[in-house]
Amino acid sequence: MELWDLYDEDRKPLNRTKPRGSVLEPGEYHYVVHVCLFNPKGELLIQQRQPFKKGWPGLWDVSVGGSVLAGETSREAAIRETMEEIGLSIDLTSIRPHLTVNFDVGFDDFYILESDFEISSLTLQEEEVRAARWASLEEILMMIDEGDFIPYYSGLIHFLFENIKAYGAIIK
């Protein structure tokens, strides 16, 4: 059974855990991570969730995503999830999340990386990932409008694409 560490609204550890997928009480939060992998052409690797997967079955999503497990840091979870879901080893040494999005019961850290690899080199996790491919900003926005992609706010998708080689909120 996988466990989540619990945090308060200020991200301070509550020094408690709950089984993954549990209903969290008011004042309990957990971490999720997403890794957004871009190729040198500026396309985002997207993955299609398996049709039997709980939550957004059959829809397309950003490259990698998953819950941070008890005892892990956000960075460790991002590395683990990337290896588990698509079989790709990434180096996040000294890399912090580019963005954290708050949601009802947690914090979602987004890591943005540029990498050059072939889709054929990936090993997709059969239990979670049905397919993977590269997509442009315009393609993803169209897929969201058509209901084929997880319904992220378009501003978030724009942010991911605009920050492929940037870090922070100031143009340097």
Q: What is the pLDDT of residue 134?
A: 98
Query: What is the pTM (predicted TM-score) of this model?
Result: 0.95
pLDDT tens digit string along 54-95? 889 999 999 999 999 999 999 999 999 999 999 999 999 989
Helices 154-162 and 137-145 pack at an angle, to 10 degrees, of 170
Q: What is the pLDDT of residue 169?
A: 80
Share of the chain above pLDDT 90, in %: 92
Handedness of CA 81, 167, 103, 7 (dihedral sign): positive
CA angle centred on 125, ends 123 and 128, rounded to 5°: 145
CB-side exposure of 151: number of CA atoms within 13 Å? 4
Q: How many residues does the chain have?
A: 172
Share of the chain above pLDDT 70, in %: 100
Q: What is the pLDDT of residue 73?
A: 96
pLDDT tens digit string along 84-138? 999 999 999 989 999 999 999 999 999 999 999 999 999 999 999 999 999 999 9
Q: Rounded mean pLDDT of the chain?
A: 96
- Whether the per-residue pLDDT at 172 is higher than 80: the answer is no
Handedness of CA 9, 112, 4, 24 (dihedral sign): positive
Average confidence (pLDDT) over 142-155 = 97
Map out the domains of the chain with their CATH numbers.
Answer: 3-162 (3.90.79.10)
Average confidence (pLDDT) over 36-62 = 97
